[in-house]
Amino acid sequence: MTKSLTEQRKSTPRRMVLCTALVLAALMGGALMLPGNASFAGEGIAIPAPSLDEAANAGTETAIFAGGCFWGVQGVFQHVGGVISATSGYTGGEGANPSYDMVSTGTTGHAEAVEIVYDPSKVTYGHLLHIFFSVVADPTTLNYQGPDHGTQYRSAIFPTNAAQSKIAKAYITELGAAKVFGAAIVTTIEPQAKFFPAEDYHQDFLTLNPTYPYIVVNDLPKVADLKQLFPGDYKTNPVLVMK
């Protein structure tokens, strides 16, 4: 059963912390001091493309990325040309059929992730990685992205075959050597794990809730960065799960 927006807010308390204040600060052109080591999504960054990539063959392949809250990860890749579907879910942990409430405890080992089905003749795995590191996730923050803290919000890549693992490892090595981020990359490459789709109310969340404070502050800027940094890949109409 799809939850109402009120129920969604009750089930995602961390994501609502300071969101209203952030929106007001942004509208006023001011800065907001955050408690402790809290931080929020930054701007996209132009980085080199990977030198190693898969062949641009016709057909379909699957990629799985985790980069903090899956609302924004899904929202970005739904706007990438060549992506056939992008589904929010959970992977990398123990136990079957994880729920949002279970994963949110940070005790299951799962990460909020997005499973991407794509056409390599239109967008390759290496290019998806290029987009991931450029506009989706900060690869230098360990076990948190923006306002979301915990292992469930880690930056991670889950290769679905040996070729993807090789490409991802090579690219992280290249980016580290180039020192484009100014800090060490902590994004993990984890063995293929079973992917569990998230609840329906999490699917297409960015598209369905563009004025939701968390989306305004943390995720719409990522879509804007995609359009700016990868104009040839950006498509206006996203591919949706709940059709």
8 Å CB contact between 140 and 57? no
Distances (CA, A) of 45 to 39, 123, 140, 180: 17, 20, 13, 9
Catalytic residue among 22, 64, 66, 69: 69
Q: Phi and psi (nearest 5°) for 220? A: -60, -35
- Characterize the bridge pairing of strands 196-197 and 83-91: antiparallel
Q: Which residues pair with 66 in a beta bridge?
A: 156
Residues 6+ apart with CB under 8 A from 26: 216, 217
Residue 196 in tokens: 């569990």
Look up 69 and say whether it is catalytic: yes
Active site residues: 69
